[in-house]
């Protein structure tokens, strides 16, 4: 594969904040935006940030009219201690990309080696000439480590060279009062507890204002050249200064090792910070880079997708998959934020995005990591039970719509708490894991408990009406432009699915894990009669359908509303949520994103293809795609109904959404859910993959402009390689035992190393 996914060859100040997102480095635990080490002038827009997944502060929410069940506190992922800073002086001249003359410049993202690289050939205002080469990485091998290799080649400069490396808590979060996608928790939220040093390792420890969490950054610097070494300390940071006499032709290299630890994960974050820093300092940048490459070789082995005939799309696909890896937590304390660890959009909160859009990518490429993502939900199950009681449910669990620590922090309930489908989305991910991995032990230990507890709340929300139908009232579906409705089709359908699988899980446990079932039944006080009620509700589930139009209304009253005139709405009025009061939007037939169409993707076997087509074309006309979650699903379902042009058009908008800044807000962070949706659009859309009841199905239908697609999936311990052209499909079992699959509705048996066409 081509390792350099993106490259910047000239400095464009207006693009700087966007590129700080695109060139960020992260490993699921820490994320560092792609700011220049030396900083930028005050008049240039820059969003300098470093983030620790699940490290947050709280702030009391103020309501003029507060009701029972409203969250008490907001949560915000904090911009933490900055370890990026390295200043360079040639005698009395400070290096800056914004003064002097840039002879040449290139910055690249290398996804094979896991580094962001910057090379600058620079001439100072007084004619001093250097080549600066910087490599930085967030280590996948040692998740707490952020490293910089800083190399200066003196071309004509002779004199005193100073390099200043520091860590500082002089940081703050951004805010935007009139954009709900950003939040308002701005300013500096960290207090410095202490600054310390041991054996040339410096530490800066900070504590949040309200949440009581602590973060530590330790720093060490290695420079082999003989130099004078000094330190300087302020109330909010510490610097190490290297001073060296150089001659023309000399090359100076500084290696900077920063380690982030926090009280979320460590009982003694300071001690752990010193320990880890000593280890990576001893290893050195070169060895850490080798470990980074080894990790990524393993990742790309199963994850890579190859497209022949579309270089721009190919680049976008690999960029997106790499960003998913950078965003994914690999511990029980955190999940995947809506913007990953690349920016502060949505304040670092976790949504349904993970389970519905991102999770399938990891499930089919790295099932172990997929399991960890589910474990975060299991570990916050007690908080979800507490939330259910706050919402007047006597039993069961209600997962928060947006959260960091497991508590609900969405203050606007119509598009927050009312989205009860968060429960069915998480449950669906559990069901998918069970189907794809066959891991019944996980179901016995954790998964069944999630299913039963989430189902209890949905059962309590619904009821059997007079005609015997089970209905679910006053909820919001995935489309946030339609709030607080009765019988949202998506919610009802996914709840029906959850209820059915509760019955399946109970029976599986009773047969294979009777002792585990007994323990669980005692723990949550559940009996089979309750499961039987779920099954009864599933059989009686009301799913809205309009016989005249032959479509599924999004909810009971959706078709009674006035259709929004999208054709005559000025472009500057999009996205609608930033320009119209919610009530005005709610009165119309207008969708922010797929809702019924998404339901058909997740559970398409429930509906005839002709009805799916009707729904697709009906909702397409009234969908704004104001949400980045939208176009990928429309692409997948266009593939399903055989509309190849629409499938490709929607896909192209998803594949390069951040690279081309199509939503206009990439500066606030990547769109991780859209990136997961991109992968689904390739594999489920053009690859035509589906899975049901332990069987894999493929029905490839690739765009006419592509010569072929090739991808791999991990399924029940096997690794399958699929290559599809416009006329043929080749499927190979690379690892694992023989397996039966369906290709274009024909049953085939795959044997190891045999090719099936």
Query: Of the listed 112, 272, 344, 480, which one is catalytic?
Result: 480
For the stretch 38-42, contacts whose Cβ atoms lie closer than 8 Å and that sit 24 or more positions apart, written own/partner, are 38/85, 38/86, 38/87, 38/88, 38/94, 38/95, 38/96, 38/97, 39/85, 39/87, 39/96, 40/13, 40/16, 40/96, 40/97, 40/98, 41/96, 41/98
480 is catalytic: yes
What is the side-by-side order of every strand in the sheet holding 145-154?
A: 4-8, 101-110, 115-123, 129-138, 145-154, 251-262, 214-223, 201-208, 190-198
- Radius of gyration over every alpha carbon of the chain, rounded to an integer in angstroms: 27
- Give the H/E segment covering residue 537: helix 528-539
CA end-to-end distance (rounded Å), the chain: 25
Contact 624, 590 (CB under 8 A): yes
Residue count of the chain: 757
Burial of 544 (0-12, 13-18, 19+ CB in 10 A): buried
Q: Which two tokens stand for residue 548?
A: 């005249």
φ/ψ (deg, to 5) at 742: -115, 130
Contact 165, 194 (CB under 8 A): no
- Distance (Å, whole) CA 391 – CA 411: 14
Contact 520, 448 (CB under 8 A): yes
- What is the sign of the dihedral through the CA atoms of 297, 298, 303 and 308? positive
- Give the H/E segment covering residue 255: strand 251-262
- Distance (Å, whole) CA 329 – CA 336: 6
Beta-carbon contacts of residue 62 (< 8 Å; ≥ 6 apart): none
- Distance (Å, whole) CA 213 – CA 224: 37
Strand pairing category for 695-698 and 690-692: antiparallel
Burial of 554 (0-12, 13-18, 19+ CB in 10 A): buried
Contact 393, 460 (CB under 8 A): yes
- Distance (Å, whole) CA 674 – CA 646: 17
Strand pairing category for 4-8 and 101-110: antiparallel
What Å distances lie between residue 642 and 637, 638, 700, CA to CA?
8, 6, 11
Q: Which two tokens stand for residue 417?
A: 């708490």
Q: Which two tokens stand for residue 80?
A: 């933490």
φ/ψ (deg, to 5) at 99: -140, 175
The catalytic residue positions are: 480
């Amino acid at each position: 594969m081509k390792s350099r996914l993106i490259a910047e060859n000239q400095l464009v100040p207006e693009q700087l904040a966007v590129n700080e997102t695109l060139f960020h480095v992260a490993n699921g635990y820490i994320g560092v935006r792609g700011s220049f080490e030396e900083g930028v002038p005050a008049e240039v827009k820059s969003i300098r940030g470093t983030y620790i997944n699940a490290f947050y502060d709280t702030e009391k929410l103020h309501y003029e009219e507060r009701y029972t069940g409203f969250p008490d506190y907001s949560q915000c992922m904090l911009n933490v201690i900055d370890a990026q800073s390295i200043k360079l002086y040639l005698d009395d001249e400070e290096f800056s990309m914004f003064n002097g003359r840039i002879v040449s410049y290139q910055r690249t993202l290398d996804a094979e080696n896991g580094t962001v690289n910057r090379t600058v050939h620079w001439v100072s205002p007084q004619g001093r000439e250097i080549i600066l080469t910087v490599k930085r990485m967030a280590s996948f091998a040692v998740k707490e480590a952020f490293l910089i290799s800083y190399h200066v080649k003196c071309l004509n400069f002779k004199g005193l060279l100073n390099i200043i490396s520091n860590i500082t808590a002089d940081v703050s979060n951004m805010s935007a009062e009139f954009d709900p996608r950003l939040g308002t928790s701005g300013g500096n939220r960290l207090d410095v507890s202490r600054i310390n040093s041991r054996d040339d390792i410096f530490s800066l420890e900070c504590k949040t204002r309200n949440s009581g969490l602590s973060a530590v950054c330790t720093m060490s610097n290695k420079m082999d050249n003989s130099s004078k070494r000094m330190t300087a300390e302020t109330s909010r940071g510490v610097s190490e200064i290297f001073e060296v006499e150089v001659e023309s032709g000399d090359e100076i290299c500084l290696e900077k090792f920063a380690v982030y630890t926090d009280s979320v994960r460590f009982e003694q974050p300071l001690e752990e910070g010193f320990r880890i820093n000593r280890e990576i300092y001893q290893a050195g940048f070169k060895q850490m880079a080798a470990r980074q490459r080894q990790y990524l070789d393993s990742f790309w082995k199963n994850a890579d997708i190859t497209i022949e005939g579309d270089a721009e799309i190919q680049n976008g696909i690999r960029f997106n998959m790499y960003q998913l890896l950078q965003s994914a937590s690999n511990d029980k304390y955190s999940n995947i934020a809506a913007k990953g660890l690349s920016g502060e959009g949505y304040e670092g909160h976790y949504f349904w995005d993970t389970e519905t859009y991102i999770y399938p990518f990891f499930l089919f490429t790295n099932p172990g990591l997929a399991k960890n993502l589910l474990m975060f939900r299991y570990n916050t199950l007690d908080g979800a039970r507490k939330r259910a009681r706050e919402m007047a449910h006597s039993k069961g669990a209600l997962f928060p719509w947006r959260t960091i620590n497991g508590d609900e922090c969405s203050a606007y309930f119509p598009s927050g708490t009312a989205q009860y489908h968060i429960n069915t989305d998480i449950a669906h991910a559990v069901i998918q894991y069970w189907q794809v991995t066959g891991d019944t032990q996980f179901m016995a230990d954790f998964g069944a408990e999630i299913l039963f507890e989430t189902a209890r709340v949905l059962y309590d929300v619904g009821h059997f009406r007079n005609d015997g139908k089970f209905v679910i009232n006053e909820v919001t579906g995935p489309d946030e432009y339609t709030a607080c409705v009765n019988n949202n089709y998506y919610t009802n359908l996914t709840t029906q699915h959850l209820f059915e699988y509760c019955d399946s899980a109970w029976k599986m446990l009773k047969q294979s894990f009777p002792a585990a079932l007994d323990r669980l039944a005692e723990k949550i006080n559940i009996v089979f009669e309750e499961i039987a009620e779920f099954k009864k509700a599933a059989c009686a589930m009301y799913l809205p359908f309009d016989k005249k139009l032959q479509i599924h209304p999004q909810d009971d009253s959706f078709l009674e509303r006035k259709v929004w005139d999208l054709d005559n709405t000025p472009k500057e009025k999009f996205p609608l949520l930033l320009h119209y009061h919610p009530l005005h939007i709610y009165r119309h037939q207008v969708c922010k994103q797929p809702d019924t169409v998404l339901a058909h993707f997740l559970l398409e076997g429930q509906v005839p293809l002709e009805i799916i087509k009707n729904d697709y074309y009906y909702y397409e006309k009234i969908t704004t795609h104001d949400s980045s979650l939208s176009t990928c699903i429309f692409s997948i379902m266009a593939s399903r109904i055989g509309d190849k042009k629409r499938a490709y058009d929607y896909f192209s908008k998803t594949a390069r959404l951040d690279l081309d800044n199509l939503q206009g807000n990439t500066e606030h962070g990547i769109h991780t859910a859209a990136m997961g949706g991109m992968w689904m659009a390739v594999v489920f859309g053009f690859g035509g993959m589906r899975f049901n009841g332990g069987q894999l199905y493929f029905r490839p239908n690739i765009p006419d402009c592509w010569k072929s697609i090739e991808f791999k999936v991990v399924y029940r311990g096997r690794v399958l390689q699929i290559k599809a052209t416009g006329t043929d499909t080749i499927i190979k079992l690379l690892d694992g035992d023989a397996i039966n699959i369906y290709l274009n509705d024909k049953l085939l048996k795959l044997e190891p190393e045999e090719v099936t066409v």
